[in-house]
Structure 1
Amino acid sequence: MNKRKSFKIFLVLAAILGIYKMADYYATDKISTYLKSQELSYDAISTNLLLGNVSLSNVITVKDSLHFKIEKIEIKGISYYQYLKNKSIHISDLKTINPKITGKITKKETDKEVEKESSKPKSLDLKIENIEFDNLEIDIIKSDRFPLIAKSIYFEINNFELDSTLNTSIPFLYSNIEASITDFEMQFSKVQKVKFSRLVFEKDHLSLDSVEIVPLKSRKTYIHDVSEEKELLTLFSKKIIFSNIQIEEKERLTFTSNDVLLEDVFFNLYLDATLLEHPNKRKDLYSKSLRDLPFGIDIKNLEIKNSELIYEEYTIKGNESGVLIFDNLNAQISNINNNSNKETKLTTAKIQSSFMKSSPLEIEWTFDINNKNDDFRIKGSLLDITSKNMSSFLLPTMNVKMDGFIDKMYFDFEGNDFASNGKLNLDFNNFNIKILDEEKNKKTVISWLANLFIRDSSKNGMVKVKIEKLERDQTKSFWNYFWKNIEKGLQKSLVS
């Protein structure tokens, strides 16, 4: 090859390299100008026009009162062909490394932002083969002025496609999502927060470790930080697992899971009923609450294993709180489905437990979520109930002490949102009632009169009674409604 030819080749290569460098510089400048227009700052930018790659380091931006800081953003495989031909953006990979979100969300700013976004024409066609957020940290104040913290979030979505023509609740398509969150905390009131140590979502499987609802106030002081009478909650679950999850757009956005497992759950409810009045607000039955969810739900089977529920009520000042304990609690609930076209109508819950650590309790409860009358049936049995078990709640809350035994109790109630009917079969013996004054001394005359009305049959044998047209107090829960049926049956069984 002669020198002249070699020189020409060199000139051509130099020209190509120069044009490339100019184009690369031009592209970098255009990207920089655009980023500045978006009020986004960074320390350095790197582009590779040939491969369609862009890299930014130490990126900072502010959106309203939220601050975003990202150690590095990597964009790879930008398709010039798709942009020039179809005016669409196609990217192979988008990755953010060590992003952090701090600041606060205010309600007014959020509403303004929604209004702004809704006024913009949605014409962007965006496809990204792989999106990855690595080690995202969140430390913000929500619009309710309570904090939300997540120490580390990993999130990956494959074949992401934003399509402005989609008329669905989820305005994008994807083939797979994987995510994990560690050390999550969110306060939702002045007196409570929820937290978990780890969440993992892979394909169609979700698991949460060490889920807790934590009181932020003591039992003595919490009632001063709530606007109406309500329980202080404490919950711990070792493990919660959702299997075969699907999120679909049917008549509405619908969450589906074949199996849900809650394992080793401890749930404590404490009510201070000495200070505030019971709120005069309607409490829906579970069927209506599920029916009125803003999204569809279809859980084939939900299982609770090896758990404990404790309800405590402080009713009379100076007394201890009344206590009800349900331990060794296991439950199987099937067909939690608010789809109006579902094949199986009834939701069925089967519950097994020990009442006050000694009395076997079994319950079968059925209802139809889509039944507008909220019809239900609850039946079961409670065996070997001692006077100590009965008095543990009645003595502190009502100054009533009972002596004797209930060997067998069988109940079967049917009802709806308005009233219930049913029957209670009771086998008890050696039963008497003691009504105590405030100093815990027996009110002899009143107790003697009360025991005059105890049925003679209470000494031996089975008593069978019917409960008819018991009206529901719609400001109280389903379980209060259930207890009122039991209470009515006990009254009819014991009093002649």
Structure 2
Amino acid sequence: MKKTLFYIFLGLLLLAVSGYFYANHLVKTKVENFLAEQLSPQVDLTYGDLYMSTFTGTISIEGIDLSIHNQTDTVIHTRATIDKLRLSGFGYYEFFFNEEIEFDQIDIDKNNIVYFKERFVSASKTDSIDQDPLATVDKTILIKALNIEDTSLTIYDESKDSVVLNISKASLAVKDIRTDASRIKKRIPIIYEHVLLQSDSMFMKISPYEDLTVKNLKLEDHDIYLKDLSIKPKYSKQQYARMIPTERDYTILEVPSASILNYDFGFTNGKLFAKAKQLHIDQPNLSIYRDKLVADDTSFKPLYSKMLRDLKMELMVDSIQVSKAHIVYEEKAKADQPAGSIEFTEMDIDLSRVGNTQAKGEKTTIVVDGKFQQSKLHVDWTFDVHNTSDVFRFSGRLGKLPAQNINSFVQPNLNVGFEGTLDEVYFDISGDNSHSQTSIKMKYEDFKVIVMRKNGKGKNKLVSGIVNLFVAKNSEKDGNHYREGSGDSDRNKTKSIFNFVWVSILSGLLKTLT
């Protein structure tokens, strides 16, 4: 009896051991066959060692080298190296009985990805990929947790400063990743439940002249948080002026923190869409310098409504909030004069329905509260993206402004200055892509126009005296403390919306003062 039990036990033990080695061999063979046969012909993969433990359901692959080339040629556009890939918690029951590949966790350490942007040739622009997917699968795949540590991504183009994007020391954690034979052919080949991406730094080339950097990036599910974002020119103002063929703003932007909340993106019928509930930008510092000595850019400048309407993607941001912005604009019009400057401080800007997917007739609104040259400023701005005439309304109020506060801008650029005080200015501009009508209501006192000599040094008393004969010194008339006027302006379509607003207000001011 004892011998019988012993032989039964021994037989079961041998069966279990044999089953272990068979299962170990079978799964390892399946993995090796997948890596050898089911990856796309565009993918070349080599690795050092592959270890399989049936007891723990763990697969470890070390020394992975991967390269991806175009379907239409053999040019390699992507390379990646992975020190170690560990897949743990393999679901044997799901694999053998439910036709599903399931892992509890995948860990990737020291991952380096390099992508050559100019080498990639796309074979399709539809939602489904006409070219081969990077892998084919015949089972549903579920990965309960994916953890990637110490990752770097670099994207190159063929320019002299060839780095387009660099993300370093990044980590990624994703929960409940799924794909299947149909999903893997999509442009976005997976679905997931939770994602957390963090990076110590990010660099992006946004033009031949400017770079964007972010010191800290965090993406969690549908929210993105940015710290210490900056956009800065690569060159000095003097170098920049020599390089640009026509006028272009020299821009420096610094943002301590920004967030994008409840965002989503994807493809619908082959067209990219992006949307977000809210974008918040905290205490941005924006400096803009324009050298008017450079040749004019005579290209057509669309208004914002047309720019949004003509985007090649569907975009909608429900709300954009900018808090405590500081903006300085400088313009150099004469070689022998310093640049004129104006300053906006403590600017709170609220924008709603910014995009191109809103219903026809639903307006984009912009509300601004802050200070212009230390005087209180309020602006209401609305436009309808779907109106092809680009109709807009721009109205507001400017509080008490000593006239000398705007001399730093108008004197170097227009060769005139002002004296006196503007106590209140109300303006209301109704316009479209071609024309505007402006109404002005203002209260002021002791207002004078100072015409400078041609060299900008000193007052031209004769011309100033003649000009002021046509300017009402004070706004009070017949017991009314306000003067009112209106002006018409034609838009110079080679100039921006802000030039159009300035010209429109100026036309109304001139009619009101004279």
TM bin, normalised by shorter chain, reads 0.7 to 0.9
Q: Which amino acid aligns with 2:111?
A: P
**Is 1:111 aligned to residue 128 of structure 2?**
no
Q: Which amino acid aligns with 2:87?
A: I
The equivalences for 1:388-407 within 5 A come to 388-407=404-423
Amino acid at match of 2:428: D
**Residue aligning to 2:149:** 134
Per-residue CA deviations over 1:360-419 (Å, capped at 9, x if unaligned) read: 111111122222222211111112222322211111222222222222211001112221
| TM-aligned CA deviation for residue 247 of structure 1 | 4.5
Task: Say yes or no: does 1:424 pair with 2:443.
Answer: no
Other-structure match for 2:330: 312
Structure 1 counterpart of 2:402, one-letter code: T
Report the counterpart of residue 231 of structure 2 in structure 1. 213
Question: Aligned partners of 1:459, 1:404: CA distance in 2, in Å?
Answer: 14
Residues in 2 aligned to 1:158 and 1:415: alpha-carbon distance in whole angstroms? 51
**1:195 match:** 213
Normalised to the residue count of structure 2, the TM-score between the two structures is 0.84
- Residues of 1 paired with 2:344 and 2:473: CA distance? 31
Please tell me whether the aligned partners of residues 405 and 431 of structure 1 are also in contact (alpha carbons under 8 angstroms): no
What letter corresponds to residue 105 of structure 1 in structure 2? F
The aligned residue for residue 464 of structure 1 is 484
Aligned to 1:375: 391
| Distance change in 2, residues 1:169/1:54 (3 Å) | closer
CA drift of 1:79 comes to 4.8
The CA distance in 1 between the partners of 2:322 and 2:33, in whole Å, is 57
2:356 maps to 1:353:
no
How far the C-alpha of 1:32 sits from its partner, in A, is 4.4
Distance 1:395 1:290, change over 3 A: same
Q: Does 1:384 align with 2:400?
A: yes
Distance in 2, Cα, partners of 1:183 & 1:365: 36
Given that 2:117 and 2:155 are in contact with CA atoms closer than 8 Å, whether structure 1 keeps it comes out as no
Distance in 1, matches of 2:117 and 2:356, equals 33
Q: Is the 8 A contact 2:447 2:474 kept in 1?
A: no
**Residues 86 and 294 of structure 1, relative CA distance in 2, 3 Å threshold:** farther
1:73 aligns with 2:93: no
Matching residue's letter, 2:506: E
Change (3 A) 1:18 1:248: closer
Q: Distance in 1 between matches of 2:303 and 2:142?
A: 45
Structure 1 position 156, deviation (Å): 2.5
SS in 1 for 2:385: coil
1:9-88 residue pairs with structure 2 within 5 A?
A: 9-10=9-10, 13-14=13-14, 16-18=16-18, 20-21=20-21, 24-25=24-25, 27-28=27-28, 31-32=31-32, 35=35, 38-49=43-54, 52-63=57-68, 64-79=76-91
Equivalent residue, structure 2, for 1:278: 296
One-letter identity of the residue aligned with 2:178: E
Contact 2:293 2:334 in 1 (8 A): yes
Contact 2:105 2:143 in 1 (8 A): yes
Which amino acid in the other structure matches residue 340 of structure 2?
Answer: G
Q: After superposition, give the CA deviation of every residue in 1:57-81 in whole Å (9 maximum; x if it has no partner).
A: 2322233254312122122344566
Cα offsets for 1:143-180 (capped at 9, x unmatched): 66334221222223323233554697645432222222
Q: Is the 8 A contact 1:168 1:249 kept in 2?
A: no
Q: Distance in 1 between matches of 2:358 and 2:200?
A: 37
Q: In the TM superposition, what is the alpha-carbon distance from 1:290 to its structure 2 partner?
A: 2.4
How far is the alpha carbon of 1:243 from its aligned partner? Answer: 3.1
Provide Cα deviations, 1:186-210, integer angstroms capped at 9, x if missing partner: 1223331111121222234322111
How far the C-alpha of 1:345 sits from its partner, in A, is: 1.3
Distance in 1 between residues matched to 2:425 and 2:3, nearest whole Å:
109
1:123 and 1:43 map into 2 onto residues whose CA distance is 23
Secondary structure of 2:283's partner?
Answer: strand
Cα distance in 2, alignment partners of residues 373 and 387 from structure 1: 36
What is the distance in 1 between the residues matched to 2:397 and 2:255? 27
**Alpha-carbon distance change, 14 to 126 in structure 1, aligned in 2, over 3 angstroms:** closer
CA distance in 2, matches of 1:129, 1:161: 9
Please provide the CA RMSD for this pair.
Answer: 3.2
Q: Report if the CA contact (8 A) 2:419-2:450 is conserved.
A: yes
Q: Is the aligned partner of 1:484 residue 2:489?
A: no
Matches within 5 A, 1:180-191: 180-191=198-209
* Residues 174-323 of structure 1 aligned to structure 2 (within 5 Å): 174-247=192-265, 254-275=273-294, 277-323=295-341
> 3-state DSSP class of the match of 2:130?
helix
Pairwise CA distance, 1:312 = 0.9
Q: Distance in 1 between matches of 2:371 and 2:232?
A: 25
AA aligned to 1:228 is: T
Q: CA deviation at 1:341?
A: 3.4
Post-superposition CA distance 1:98-148 (Å, at most 9, x none) = 21124x5142x2116769963327964544333332231123424663342
Q: Are the equivalent residues in 2 in contact too, given 1:380–1:411 (CA < 8 A)?
A: yes
Larger CA deviation: 227-236 vs 91-100 = 91-100
Q: 1:246, 1:204 → 2: CA distance?
A: 7
Q: Report if the CA contact (8 A) 1:431-1:458 is conserved.
A: no
Sort the Cα spacing of 1:187 and 1:256 in 2 relative to 1 into closer, same or farther, 3 A: closer
Instruction: Report the 3-state secondary structure (helix = DSSP H, G, I; strand = E; otherwise coil) of the residue aligned with 2:407.
Output: helix
One-letter identity of the residue aligned with 1:96: I
Gaps of 5+ in 2: 38-42, 69-75
State the AA in 2 paired with 1:58. Answer: G
Instruction: State how far apart, in whole Å, the 1-side matches of 2:60 and 2:48 are.
Output: 11
Q: Mean alpha-carbon deviation: is it higher for 420-429 or for 30-39?
A: 30-39
Deviates more, 1:297-306 or 1:393-402: 297-306
- Secondary structure of 2:459 counterpart: coil
For the residue of structure 1 that corresponds to 2:248, the secondary structure is coil
Alignment coverage as a number of residue pairs: 489
What is the rounded CA distance, in whole Å, between the counterparts of 2:357 and 2:454 in structure 1?
53
Q: Distance in 2 between matches of 1:129 and 1:253?
A: 28
In the TM superposition, residue 222 of structure 1 has moved relative to its aligned partner by 1.4
Q: Decide which of 176, 179, 182 is 1:162's aligned counterpart.
A: 179
Which residue number in structure 1 is paired with residue 457 of structure 2?
440
The superposition leaves residues 192-233 of structure 1 with CA deviations (integer Å, 9 ceiling, x where unpaired) of 111112122223432211111122211221123334321111
Q: Is the 8 A contact 2:264 2:275 kept in 1?
A: yes
